[in-house]
Each structure stands twice: as C-alpha cells, then as structure tokens.
C-alpha cells in the first residue's frame, strides 16, 4: 500500500495568517467602539463601506491577475486594510473618500506590488497619505464630539451626509463640523498647530476656549481604546513587543527633549502619546509584519525611527499629525535596516 509523502515537520502550530488578521480585527474593537461613541455612527458606516470596497477591489484585481480568489480573500488582509482606512478618515467624510482610499490601498499599494507579503508600503497609510494630499479639506474636517453637536444627528442623517454631503434637514457637513460658538472643529493636534502658527504658546492654547471645545478628550479616550486592544495583541503574541515599545519610548523621549528645550512651542510627551493616531500606529500600523523590519534590532530601530519622524513633523512640520508619513518613510528604510541588523548566526562568535 502506498502512503502519502510529505515534508517534515509533520506537527505544526495551529495558528494561520487569517487567524492573525482576525485577531487584529477583534482587538481593534475597543478603539472603534470608543470612536463611534464619541463621533457618532458615521465611523461604523465608513468601516462598512471601506471593507465592502476592499473586498470587492481585491476580488476584481485577483480576477485580473488570475489568482485564486477565495483563499486570498480569506486571509483577511484586505478587510483589515479597509477597516484601518475607515478608522483613519473623518466619520462624515464623503463616501468617495473611503472608496478612493481603499481601492488605491488594495489595488495599487498591495496587489500591484505582488499581493500579500510583497508590498513595501503599508497599504492603509499610503492610502491615507494619498487622500490627505489630494483632498485636504475633506480629510481634516472632523465633526465635533456628539455631546457638542449643535444639531442632533440620526443614523439616517449620517448616512445621508456621507453620501450626499447633507443631512436630511439640509445641513452641510461643514455646518455640522462647526460647533455652537461658530468655531470650526478639528483634531486637537490641528487646533494646537493652527494656534501655534498664529503665535500663541502651548499653555495659552490649552487654556483657550476653542481648544477646550475641541475633541481632545475624546481623542484621548480613543487612544486608550487602541492601547487596550494593542495590549491584548501583545498578550496573545500576535505582535511582538519590540516595535510598539520602541515607538512609544521613542515618542516619549524625543518629545520630552523638545518639550524640555522649549515648553512654550512644543507639546508635552503625554499629549503626544494620547493624541492623533499614536496608539493606533504603535500597535496596529507599525506592527504590520509585511512592511516592518523583521530582525529584533531592526524592529527596535524601526520603531524609534518612526517615532523620531512623528515628533519632528508634529513639532516643526507642515502637517498636524505625521503618523502616516512616518510609517511610509520608515517603510522605505526597512530593507536597509534589515540588511544591517542581521543577527549573528550560531557559531559566528558572540
């Protein structure tokens, strides 16, 4: 009788790539929950839209590339990309923002480089940068925290706003984004930057009414949500500690140096850690295995490099948040980092 011939090892760990992706998606839930709690259901709508588009464009490109469809879709990487883009864009951004971003991420950044495992750049962040550069207005218009809404927004209102730009009552997104006292809402980092540019010091900004009216508390909570999700990922060993710790430590150290140098012009380390997309980036974006460094030393260096870029751009650059740029720039350095941080092979001496 003939037996099956196959290659060793015959025992394997039973965790697959798709399970990893699924775990990452599950760990995003606390952050997403908090985000939609503060900013309304628009966020969930964006996620629904972006994931649908991600799966559709993945299917389309796989047909064009004549690759197996079902098994590739099942790996969950396209879904994850879609969700990450949706989290990053403003909740009531027009529908085509999410569509363009997702299509670009899946087709251009991932599949045109050869599919899962081959892309140089993080698809979600590359798409975010594309959107930010191309559509700066839509991408920086955040709606205020729900408690500060001048109008009450129903689910239908939000769906309508997303697809037509107006609520059922005929208010435009721009109008929604303007809070009670007529100030345009933006992210705390945005607000701080604008105020800095107009010559105020940090302490003045933090005490100013427009800052207090901004969604800074909400953003802090959201960051906390992603931190919790990230810690679960660490506990489950889906991600390894090197990158998040290196990145967060880097952010703290670099921003502390800047803060110590001039506290009037530079925001504090704590503010850095809990604003913008710091936690999302540390645990969910930078740790994307495909585009991150793979050696131990390399991962630490990669995290620190990204942190340095983030702090530099946030403090002296032209954009309020810099995570996406930092990720892309660090991605570019990965082959170089990997090459120079190879571990010493057994027997090469210590």
Q: Which of residues 11-30 bind other proteins (CB under 8 A)?
A: 11-13, 15-17, 19-20
Binding track, positions 320-339, relative to other proteins; x by CB under 8 A: ------------------x-
290 counts as binding other proteins under rule CB under 8 A = yes
**CA atoms 292, 298, 304, 309: torsion sign:** negative
Q: Which of 294, 312, 329, 333 binds other proteins (CB under 8 A)?
A: 294
Nearest to 306 by CA among 289, 290, 286, 321: 286
Burial label, 285 (beta-carbon count in 10 A; 0-12, 13-18, 19+): buried
Report phi then psi at 321, rounded to 5.
-110, 150
Min CB(154)–other proteins separation in Å: 25
- Does an H or E element contain 93, and which? none
The residue count for binding other proteins (CB under 8 A) is 51
Binding track, positions 299-318, relative to other proteins; x by CB under 8 A: x-------------------
Nearest to 295 by CA among 331, 342, 332, 333: 342
Min CB(315)–other proteins separation in Å: 24
3-state DSSP assignment of residue 178: strand
In the bound state with other proteins, the residue whose beta carbon lies nearer, of 261 and 339, is 339
Q: Report yes or no: 224 and 277 within 8 Å, Cβ to Cβ.
A: no
66 counts as binding other proteins under rule CB under 8 A = no
Give the other-Cβ count within 10 Å of 10's Cβ: 6
Q: Which of residues 207-246 bind other proteins (CB under 8 A)?
A: 240
Min CB(166)–other proteins separation in Å: 13
In the bound state with other proteins, the residue whose beta carbon lies nearer, of 3 and 152, is 3
204 counts as binding other proteins under rule CB under 8 A = no
In the bound state with other proteins, the residue whose beta carbon lies nearer, of 66 and 344, is 344
Q: Report yes or no: 132 and 139 within 8 Å, Cβ to Cβ.
A: yes
Q: Report yes or no: 304 and 253 within 8 Å, Cβ to Cβ.
A: no
3-state DSSP assignment of residue 166: strand
Min CB(175)–other proteins separation in Å: 15
Nearest to 32 by CA among 19, 23, 21, 41: 41
Alpha carbon distance 55, 80 (integer Å): 10
In the bound state with other proteins, the residue whose beta carbon lies nearer, of 79 and 273, is 79
- Answer whether the bond into residue 9 is a cis peptide, omega within 30°: yes
Q: Which of 251, 292, 324, 327 binds other proteins (CB under 8 A)?
A: 292
70 counts as binding other proteins under rule CB under 8 A = no
Min CB(108)–other proteins separation in Å: 7
Q: Which of residues 125-144 bind other proteins (CB under 8 A)?
A: 130, 133-138
Q: Report yes or no: 252 and 273 within 8 Å, Cβ to Cβ.
A: yes
Among the candidate windows 80-88, 116-124, 156-164, 188-196, which touches other proteins by CB under 8 A? Answer: 116-124
| Residues near other proteins, by CB under 8 A | 1-13, 15-17, 19-20, 71, 75, 77, 108, 115-118, 130, 133-138, 240, 289-290, 292, 294-296, 299, 338, 342-350
């Amino acid at each position: 009788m003939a037996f099956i011939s196959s290659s060793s090892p015959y025992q394997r760990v039973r965790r697959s790539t798709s399970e990893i992706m699924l775990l990452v998606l599950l760990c995003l839930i606390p952050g997403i929950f908090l985000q939609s709690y503060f900013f309304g259901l628009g966020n969930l709508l964006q996620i629904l839209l972006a994931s649908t588009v991600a799966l559709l464009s993945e299917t389309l490109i796989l047909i064009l590339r004549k690759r197996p469809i079902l098994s590739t879709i099942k790996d969950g990487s396209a879904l994850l990309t879609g969700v990450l883009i949706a989290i990053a864009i403003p909740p009531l951004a027009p529908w085509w923002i999410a569509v363009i971003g997702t299509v670009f991420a899946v087709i251009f950044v991932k599949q045109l480089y050869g599919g899962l495992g081959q892309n140089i750049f993080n698809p979600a962040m590359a798409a975010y940068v594309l959107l930010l550069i191309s559509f700066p207005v839509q991408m920086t218009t955040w709606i205020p925290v729900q408690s500060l809404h001048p109008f009450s927004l129903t689910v239908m209102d939000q769906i309508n706003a997303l697809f037509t730009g107006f609520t059922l009552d005929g208010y435009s997104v721009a109008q929604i984004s303007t809070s009670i006292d007529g100030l345009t809402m933006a992210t705390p980092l945005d607000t701080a930057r604008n105020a800095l540019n107009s010559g105020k010091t940090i302490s003045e900004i933090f005490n100013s009414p427009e800052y207090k009216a901004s969604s800074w508390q909400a953003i802090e909570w959201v960051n906390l949500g992603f931190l919790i999700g990230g810690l679960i990922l660490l506990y489950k060993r889906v991600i390894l500690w090197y990158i998040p710790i290196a990145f967060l430590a880097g952010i703290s150290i670099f921003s502390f140096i800047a803060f110590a140098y001039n506290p009037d012009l530079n925001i504090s380390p704590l503010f850095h850690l809990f604003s913008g997309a710091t936690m999302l980036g540390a645990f969910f974006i930078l740790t994307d295995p495909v585009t991150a460094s793979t050696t131990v030393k390399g991962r630490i260096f990669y995290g620190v490099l990204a942190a340095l870029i983030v702090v530099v751009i946030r403090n002296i650059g032209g954009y309020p948040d810099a995570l996406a740029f930092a990720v892309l720039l660090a991605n570019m350095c990965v082959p170089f980092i990997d090459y120079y941080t190879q571990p010493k092979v057994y027997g090469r001496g210590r």
